[in-house]
Amino acid sequence: MDIKKIREIVEKEPEEAVEEVLEGVRERYGEIPYILNFMKDMPDLLIPKVMYDNSIMREFERLDPKTIELICIGVSSAIRCDHCMKMHIRVAHRLGLTKEEIFDAVLIGGAMSNASVLAEGTRALDLEFNGTKPECDESCDVCNIANSGNGSAKGNED
């Protein structure tokens, strides 16, 4: 959302601004998410939230809407947000994504969630039973991939 559009919205009366912002969300998603509907009487919170979300998820120019929805589904799966997942699945379906494509996003989210649990759990076990945090060195292929852009390997990165 460009600055001019933001100014236009901010200069409106709160009720009118809320109505316009929510209508934009409805146009994009085909519905208004529960959270935003809940916040409709709180324009000081709703409007900045929707503007921020718009900047990332609805007006993002480097990723297409289908990819954004698949990411939302994967993350919703990973963090176990049932309400978000169901809404983003509906939106993805409206955008023409197949059941299989959506399921792949769920699988990826599940794999990331599993990796997160294992990363924390195995480190806690090492700390408890070995008394030390596991450290990576310069030869760690995983850390070297994760840090390939900065030229240094930092231990304990996933």
Q: What per-residue string of b and e applies to 11-26 under the rule 16 or more CB within 10 Å gives b?
A: ebeeeebbeebbebbe
Note whether 68 and 76 are within 8 A (CB).
Answer: no
Supply φ then ψ for residue 138, to 5 degrees: -60, -20
SS3 track for 58-93: HCCCCCCHHHHHHHHHHHHHHCCCHHHHHHHHHHHH
Helices 99-130 & 82-94, crossing angle to 10 degrees? 150
Per-residue pLDDT tens digits of the chain, which is 158 residues long: 677 888 899 899 999 999 999 998 999 889 999 999 999 999 999 999 998 888 887 666 788 999 999 999 999 999 999 999 999 999 999 999 999 999 999 999 999 999 999 999 998 998 899 887 666 667 776 666 655 555 444 444 44
pTM attached to this predicted model: 0.72
Instruction: Give the integer Cα–Cα distance in Å for 31 and 36.
Output: 10
